[in-house]
Structure 1
């Protein structure tokens, strides 16, 4: 299968996820700063969830720009990944309403880890489906960002369990921002 239609599907699903996520932010009960400040956790987790979606789109956009064809393994693994991603609006609200609780933070972080594992599988399947595509093979050669994300979020989960549950959310954010900064410094 050619990859253009598949890319369009990914883009559409991510746009829907972002739209639903922003629609889940409650309105301030009054027109005051205090009322708006009362929604700080909703805005913080929304901003992080938006970055998660944007980061996922950016990575996939860059990778799929090199992809010539996809097979059923890529399609189904990406479908499962998008299923996990479609839970993001719910997880965003779950964390916002229970910001200092471990379990909502844990489930949010777990979605990062599952997405990371599935991304590793997708990379393998993409390489296998188009072995003659040298540019794709080279682009998917290093997966340190995915491995670092999994390790960082796991560390955040340990800290979150024993000391400070928002450490999980912080580790998710750091796992997105650090590769951007490293990429900017590198270029």
Structure 2
């Protein structure tokens, strides 16, 4: 199977998830700026989730751009990632509608951690299928950035029970870490050599 079909399917699912998130936003009851104030937490949660889903989309795109072999295991690993991404609208809504209470903030972090683990699994399956000399294998290296992100999610989940905002800050830190698209694949394509691990 070519990567084109896998990428098109994944793009469609991610587009639907973003649409679902925006449909969860409700319009304010009045026509004044003050009427928008009570919806600010919902809007901020939407922005964070939109950015995080967008980060997965861009990195997923880069990863599939350099892969040549799509196995059955890769198809299931991709579905695994899409499953956890499909829960982002649910956990976002639960968190924002409950004023960022500790349990929903932790659940949001658990979902984000599951997305990170699922992405790592997909990446590993694709690397194994393409071999150790593949562009993806050279680009990812030890994947210190991916592992650090998962660790920050774990810390954020734990801290959300101490203070909910600590958890939210941890998730924002991961978003900032990945906000600029991952350039490792682009560097590996451009140079044909292993990039510096980051």
TM-score, normalised by the number of residues in structure 1: 0.91
Cα shift at 1:133 = 5.3
Cross-structure match for 1:87: 87
> 1: CA distance between counterparts of 2:81 and 2:73?
12
> 2: CA distance between counterparts of 1:62 and 1:97?
34
Cross-structure match for 2:9: 9
- 2:79 is paired with a residue whose SS is helix
Query: Is contact 2:131–2:137 with CA below 8 Å preserved after alignment?
Result: yes
Query: Is contact 2:55–2:181 with CA below 8 Å preserved after alignment?
Result: no
1:145 aligns with 2:145: yes
1:158 aligns with 2:175: no
Q: Which runs of 4+ in 1 moved over 3 A?
A: 179-184
Q: How does 1:112-127 map to 2 (within 5 A)?
A: 112-127=112-127
Cα distance per residue 1:8-46 (max 9 Å; x no partner)? 011100000000100101110111111111100010000
Query: Is contact 1:45–1:92 with CA below 8 Å preserved after alignment?
Result: yes
Query: Is contact 1:99–1:105 with CA below 8 Å preserved after alignment?
Result: no
Cross-structure match for 2:176: 177
1:105 aligns with 2:100: no
Distance verdict in 2 for CA 1:85–1:137, change over 3 Å: same
- 1:17 is paired with a residue whose SS is helix
Cα distance per residue 1:139-163 (max 9 Å; x no partner)? 232311221111111112222112x
Distance verdict in 2 for CA 1:120–1:103, change over 3 Å: same
Cross-structure match for 1:54: 54
Query: Is contact 1:18–1:50 with CA below 8 Å preserved after alignment?
Result: yes
Cα distance per residue 1:112-151 (max 9 Å; x no partner)? 1111111221111101111165212212323112211111
Distance verdict in 2 for CA 1:183–1:139, change over 3 Å: closer
Cα distance per residue 1:75-124 (max 9 Å; x no partner)? 10110110111111111110111123111111110011111111221111
Q: Which runs of 5+ in 2 are unaligned?
A: 184-195
